């Protein structure tokens, strides 16, 4: 039975037959029913938000985990083969040096000339100097791929269920930055101004979602020329804060009230779903924190996440 069923006067009842007292009582019941319905509605949309959020988190997590897993194995053996290859090259260079030491001993003039010509053709001195550089650069590249895979794994935390954990928020921000690097690097420089932070009790992969949403929004707000995204952190009593600021387009005053609403977006169809900030808001709220925005059109936007360092007695899985 809905609140209205109990509050609505019987259809047979005629209002004109009622006394003022009865009408007041029915009106009061209707008002109460209206309040109950609003509450119910609020709970329903809250439940719906949570469902959307967990679905989005789960699918991004699964995707990230799948990609990380697929890349992890080939990168593992490439990295290991690379170590062996470097060793083999060292040996070959040693061998080459030994042969070069023997060159003057080649009695046949034609044979000696042939060796000298080949060395000149392939520019052996340059190769000797460039091969170690190439190997070093490639090794760095592979190491970077390994790091990205590790970040993807950390980001999705496939192996762990969502649990409240004490973590260094800077690690989460850095992992997330690596993941969205491609979205940011052509548009903005990232400036980090990290303070000394205590470890914070949180749901790390959920918070990474918040960082991800804010960083991608910041990058997308920078449209004309190259901009800057500044990430600052700090402590205030029993709370920590993280500011993610950009010097992009800013948010119009009339939109500031709406940006946390689900499905509010100013981005073209297919570019934004308008869910990023509403999900982020829910996640920060779940942590007992606040997500606040300040923005000036044409100058940029700052989002501040404030989180308690410790959760009240809550250590159940999410």
305 binds, among ligand ATP, Mg ion, none (CB under 5 to 8 A by kind): none
**Contacting range for ligand ATP; rule: CB under 6 A; set: 9-17, 38-46, 147-155, 269-277:** 269-277
d(CA 293, CA 256): 8
- Mention every residue, 6+ apart, whose C-beta is less than 8 A from residue 79: 142, 143, 146
User: Which residues share a beta bridge with 290?
Assistant: 306
Residue 221 in contact with ligand ATP, rule: CB under 6 A = yes
Cα angle: 199, vertex 202, 204; to 5 degrees: 95
Task: Provide the minimum distance between the beta carbon of 252 and Mg ion in the complex, in angstroms, as a whole number.
Answer: 16
DSSP line for 21-63: HHHHHHHHHHHHHHHHHHHHHHHHHHHHHHHHHHHHHHHHHHH
Taking the complex as a whole, the smallest distance from the CB of residue 272 to Mg ion amounts, in Å, to: 6
Give the C-alpha separation, 172 to 199, whole Å. 11
Picked from ligand ATP, Mg ion, none, the partner binding residue 275 (CB below 5 to 8 A depending on kind) is ligand ATP
Query: Which among ligand ATP, Mg ion, none contacts residue 233 (Cβ within 5 to 8 A by kind)?
Result: none
Distance from C-alpha of 176 to C-alpha of 151, rounded to nearest angstrom:
7
Q: Please report how many Cα atoms fall inside a 13 Å half-sphere around the Cα of residue 81, on the Cβ side.
A: 8
Least separation, in Å, of the C-beta of 212 and Mg ion? Answer: 9
Query: Should residue 227 be labelled a site residue for ligand ATP when binding is judged by CB under 6 A?
Result: no
Number of other residues whose CB lies within 10 A of the CB of residue 244? 23
The least CB distance from residue 167 to ligand ATP, in Å, is 24
Binding residue for ligand ATP, selected from 272, 286, 290, 318, defined by CB under 6 A:
272
Rounded Cα–Cα distance for residues 167 and 198 (Å) = 8
Nearer to Mg ion by Cβ, of 7 and 284: the residue is 284
Residue number, 175 or 301, with CB nearest to Mg ion: 301
**Residue in 3, 204, 227, 248 binding ligand ATP, rule: CB under 6 A:** 248
C-alpha dist (Å) from residue 203 to 136, 165, 288: 38, 6, 12
265 near ligand ATP, judged by CB under 6 A: yes
What DSSP string runs through 180-197? HHHHHTTTEEEEEE----
Give the shortest CB-152-to-Mg ion separation in angstroms. 20
| Choices 22-30, 58-66, 213-221, 309-317; region in contact with ligand ATP by CB under 6 A | 213-221
Given the complex with ligand ATP, which of 56 and 146 has the nearer CB atom? Answer: 56
267 binds, among Mg ion, ligand ATP, none (CB under 5 to 8 A by kind): ligand ATP
**Listed residue (55, 66, 38, 309) closest to 169, CA to CA:** 309
The answer to the question of residue 275 lying near ligand ATP (CB under 6 A) is yes
Number of shown-chain residues binding ligand ATP (CB under 6 A)? 21
- Give the residues lining the site for ligand ATP (CB under 6 A): 213, 217-218, 221, 246, 248-249, 251, 259, 264-267, 272-278, 301
């Amino acid at each position: 039975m809905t609140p209205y069923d109990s509050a609505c006067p019987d259809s047979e009842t005629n209002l004109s037959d009622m006394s003022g007292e009865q009408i007041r009582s029915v009106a009061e019941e209707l008002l109460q029913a209206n309040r109950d319905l609003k509450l119910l509605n609020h709970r329903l949309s809250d439940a719906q938000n949570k469902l959307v959020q967990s679905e989005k988190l789960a699918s991004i997590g699964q995707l990230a985990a799948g990609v990380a897993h697929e890349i992890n194995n080939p990168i593992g053996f490439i990295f290991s083969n690379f170590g062996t290859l470097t060793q083999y090259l060292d040996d070959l260079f040693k061998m080459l040096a030994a042969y070069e030491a023997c060159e003057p001993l080649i009695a046949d003039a034609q044979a000696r000339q042939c060796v000298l010509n080949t060395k000149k053709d392939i520019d052996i001195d340059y190769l000797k100097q460039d091969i170690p550089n190439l190997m070093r650069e490639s090794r760095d590249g592979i190491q970077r791929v390994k790091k990205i895979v590790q970040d993807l794994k950390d980001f999705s935390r496939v192996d762990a269920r969502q649990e409240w954990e004490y973590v260094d928020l800077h690690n989460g921000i850095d992992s997330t930055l690596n993941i969205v690097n491609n979205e940011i690097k052509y548009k903005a420089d990232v400036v980090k101004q990290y303070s000394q932070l205590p470890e914070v009790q949180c749901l790390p992969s959920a918070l990474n979602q918040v960082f991800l949403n804010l960083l991608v929004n910041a990058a997308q707000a920078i449209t004309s020329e190259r901009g800057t995204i500044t990430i600052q952190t700090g402590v205030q009593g029993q709370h920590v804060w993280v500011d993610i600021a950009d010097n992009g387009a800013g948010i119009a005053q009339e939109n500031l009230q709406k940006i946390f609403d689900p499905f509010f977006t100013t981005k073209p169809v297919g570019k934004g779903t308008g869910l990023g900030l509403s999900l982020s808001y829910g996640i920060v709220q779940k942590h007992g924190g606040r997500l606040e925005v300040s923005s000036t059109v044409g100058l940029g936007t700052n989002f501040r996440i404030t989180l308690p360092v410790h959760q009240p007695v809550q250590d159940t899985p999410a």
